[in-house]
Amino acid sequence: MPKWLRTLALPLVALGMVGAACSSDSSSSTAATSGSGTTSAPACNPDIQAGLVLDVGGLGDKSFNDAAYAGLQKAIADGLVCEENTKYVESNATGSDRADNVAGLAEAGYNLIVGVGFAFSPDINEIAPDYPDQSFAVIDGYATCGTACGLTNDNLENVADLAFKEQEGSFLVGAAAAIVADGQNCKTVGFLGGQTGPLIQKFEAGYTAGVQQVNPDIKVLVEYIGDDVTAFNDAVKGETLSTGMYDDGACVIYHAAGASGAGLFNAAVKADKIAIGVDSDQYLTASAEQQPLILTSMIKRVDTAVYGAIQQTGEGTFRAGPAVFDLGAEGVDYSKSNTELMTQDIIDQLEAFRTQIISGEIKVPEAPAKS
């Protein structure tokens, strides 16, 4: 595990931070105090430009894209990059303009371009060799896998794939779901996935393993919204599938469906049953009627990954190749905001599981068991 992954874990509240504009004066890297005793923002690094290309769902998805944006804003607030030297671009509803958006930032001279989502991998694999003096990063990416993954270019020296062990964080929220289900004498829980494929199956596999660790007799219902990236932006179908699982007896449902997860929360209110969020602490952004029903969220530290890539770029230490954020490096976690549902006895059990996962005593599967 690269050392920087262990030193850049940000507190969970970073997801809610909005970065202040930073000064273009690079004469000092520390905050200045005025005569009135107020503290100004730190001087920022004017020597780099950083751009984000968000995936479908865009800013305001209260999940994956928002977490990436929070990492950029934190970097601005900490002076790692000047606000005027940053830009974010939102993909269209189908993601068909991803390549154009990435190429546009590269052509504009941005030192770092981050594609927020695995679907950027083929485009960045094609584009990056044309801009060897600029750096690219892909959240959940496989761009550096090259021809072994059916892509065009191998040995990319300016691309980083920033991956996560989502299965480990999902195991913990799965265990929480089972504990709550047992308390209700319920024998069924649910999982709502966005796009089918190996990435979201990691969430499903970890969640199911966590449920079964607590009670192997609990059944896990599984539904996926679709087979392309638009599945992450279909709250209507998310609500329909969630309602179906609640009707079939699920007392808790966990989603890994991006903006489509809003449909789960709507269904939870109508059914008066429990939901689990993903990526960010979704309790903090939920409506007043949804909050009491959100047990926890699986935190995926996309903000940390974006922040780290910007920091490396500014320091001239950008690391190409794959990097993995796991539970031990605080790359994944779970939220505790809903103190009414996430009680200390549940937390104590989850923390015991955390220790066992980090030590290797519990090995969390990456793929669902074959039926």
List the chain pLDDT tens, one digit each, 371 residues.
Answer: 333 333 333 333 333 332 333 322 332 233 333 344 445 556 999 999 999 999 988 898 888 899 999 999 999 999 999 999 999 999 998 999 999 999 999 999 999 999 999 999 999 999 999 999 999 999 999 999 999 999 999 999 999 999 999 999 999 999 999 999 999 999 999 999 999 999 999 999 999 999 999 999 999 999 999 999 899 999 999 999 999 999 999 999 999 999 999 999 999 999 999 999 999 999 999 999 999 999 999 999 999 999 999 999 999 999 999 999 999 988 999 999 999 999 999 999 999 999 999 999 999 999 998 86
DSSP for 154-184, written as a single string = ---SSEEEEEE-HHHHHHHHHHHHHHHHHHT
Class of domain 167-299+339-359: alpha beta
pLDDT at position 37 is 47
pLDDT at position 371 is 60
| 248 contacts 192 by C-beta, under 8 angstroms | no
| 283 contacts 151 by C-beta, under 8 angstroms | no
pLDDT at position 40 is 58
| Residue 358 host element (H or E) | helix 344-359
Any residues with CB less than 8 A from the CB of 308 and at least 6 apart, and which? 4, 5, 8
User: How large is the greatest C-alpha to C-alpha distance in the chain, in angstroms?
Assistant: 69
Helices assigned H by DSSP within 187-343: 198-214, 235-247, 261-271, 302-315
Q: What residue ranges of the chain are covered by domains with CATH 3.40.50.2300?
A: 47-164+302-325, 167-299+339-359
pLDDT at position 247 is 98
One-letter amino acid at 227 equals: D
The second-level CATH assignment, the architecture, of 47-164+302-325 is 3-Layer(aba) Sandwich (3.40)
Global confidence as pTM:
0.81
